Amino acid sequence: MISFLFVIVACDIDDDEEENEIFEEVYDWNDYIDANLHYANNSQDLPPRSKYAFVSSYSNDLAPSFDYIQMLTVLGHSLKMFNPTIDRVVIVREEFRRDAAICRILEKAWTHILFRPVLKWPEQFNPKKLYHAKWFKFQAWTLTQYEKILYIGADTMIFTDLTQAFRWNTPSSAYYMTDYGPKDNGVMFNPDFMLIEPDLLKYVELLETTTKYLKNPGKDDKTLGKDDLAPLNIVYRSEISLYPLAIMHENGGYKHTILGNARDPQFRYIYACGVHFAGKGKPWNRWSAYTEIWKCIGFVFYEKLDLPFKLRNVPINANAIYKMIFDVYVKEGRKFIVLEQEEEEEQGDDFYPEIVHSGTRRVMSMICLITFISLLALKFIIRSHQPLSIFFKNMQNRIDLFIALDETPNMPALIGDYNKKAKKRRRKKKKNLQDTPKINEDIDE
């Protein structure tokens, strides 16, 4: 069990999910969309410092331990350690604006704390039915000040710089491991690791799709998933790309996942850029090797950031594990990946082992292609058994002959003479063929 010595006044809930909502306001079918757009358009957000952003959300927590803010702090500071040039944005429920303790903790790990209200729904829906749903992450689509955002669930641990994930086209997502495998209508994807382009039109589409889904939420659970996964699958399944397992995978501990059971001797570890602690496989609920690694990282971060958290049963080699993951990034002179420079000024492409730029690669490719064609031509010349001078001399003679014929003033007469001679030759050849049987008969006699 992860616990810490910290007291915060918050809503005490029984569910263990991060984004459980408390819906305090209801609206009519005709104005709930307008109400959500009003809050999205009138939010006073800090100006962005980069084109892209890492985004997570914090809408509720588990009192009294407040496990999610611990994971959120570790995630935010890990992103900072690996690449501080990309904005780290956390979307926080509006009610937490008045909680100075929560804000101080988040400010130590995240560059932007953006407050949003809970989503507004038509009054025909009973708020109690929506109590355990995870819709707050839809607020990520309102961050239109960014060209791309990589939404990462708070219950995620990363091992390397995730800036490379912005190379994919939007929308992209990781596999949904807890229900791994293709379905009749596509592959399930993970809504807690998505690369999207913020768009208010998509935001409205998600809200409208969610209201339709909530009329019969359990009907398509096996094909569309539950809660927020269902409307996201309806909207994005036909166009989304999936990241390879080397980018992100889900924590082991479930027998029905591709990773198997972590307590099994034949358990398979996948070394990826990050791990998502899906479902009940949270560090405070289920043991795995990744849980122990998370404790090591959290233990060091709590001391560095002076946070009021305390972990139990931390491995004695916590500092060694921390250095193994982060040491290469904190050394002086480490060059971080800055996508804005790479795209606008073409400076420093750190995603490939070679140091040349794409334009140089194209020029080198053309030079190699021309050299290859030249070698093939030279090989043909050598195999013709003619000296190079004779080859070019014959070619020049043919060119001169062609030019002379083209420049001749009485070309039609020459063509006519040529046709007459050719006709005589054909007649003579035909006559010879007719005389050949007679000669053969004389020989036989």
Q: Quote the pLDDT of residue 138.
A: 94
Residues 397, 215: Cα–Cα separation, whole Å: 86
DSSP for 376-398 reads HHHHHHHHTTS-HHHHHHHHHHH
* Across 126-138, average pLDDT: 66
Scan for tokens 């979307």, then name that residue. Answer: 91
CA distance readout (Å), 165 to 56, 151, 174, 418: 15, 11, 11, 72
- How is residue 190 written in tokens? 């993970």
- How is residue 105 written in tokens? 């903790």
**Buried b or exposed e, range 255-276, using 16+ CB within 10 angstroms:** eebbbbebeeeeeeeeebbbbb
Report DSSP state, residue 444: H
CA distance readout (Å), 348 to 83, 152, 373: 15, 26, 33
Taking only Cα atoms into account, the Rg of the chain, rounded to an integer number of angstroms, comes to: 35
Residues in the chain: 445
pLDDT 10s digits, 72-102: 999 999 999 999 999 999 999 998 999 999 9
Determine phi and psi for 163, rounding to 5 degrees: -60, -30
> Domain 30-244 belongs to what topology?
Spore Coat Polysaccharide Biosynthesis Protein SpsA; Chain A (3.90.550)
Residues 243, 211: Cα–Cα separation, whole Å: 29
- Best-predicted range by mean pLDDT (119-128, 245-254, 299-308): 299-308
Quick one: which H or E segment has residue 414? helix 411-444
β-pairing, 148-152 with 121-122?
A: unpaired
Quick one: which H or E segment has residue 149? strand 148-152
Q: Tell how far CA 147 is from the center of its chain.
A: 14
The lowest-confidence range among 117-121, 287-291, 363-367, 393-397 is 393-397
Start-to-end C-alpha separation, the chain = 117
pLDDT 10s digits, 227-263: 788 889 889 888 888 888 778 877 765 655 666 665 6
β-pairing, 186-187 with 189-196?
A: unpaired
Residues 445, 441: Cα–Cα separation, whole Å: 6
Q: Quote the pLDDT of residue 343.
A: 43
- Best-predicted range by mean pLDDT (104-118, 165-179, 265-279, 421-435): 104-118
CB 123 within 8 A of CB 26: yes
Residues 308, 302: Cα–Cα separation, whole Å: 7
Residues 188, 182: Cα–Cα separation, whole Å: 7
Residues 277, 257: Cα–Cα separation, whole Å: 13
The lowest-confidence range among 103-112, 128-137, 362-371 is 128-137
Average pLDDT, rounded, for the chain:
76
Instruction: Report the share of the chain in percent with pLDDT over 70.
Output: 63
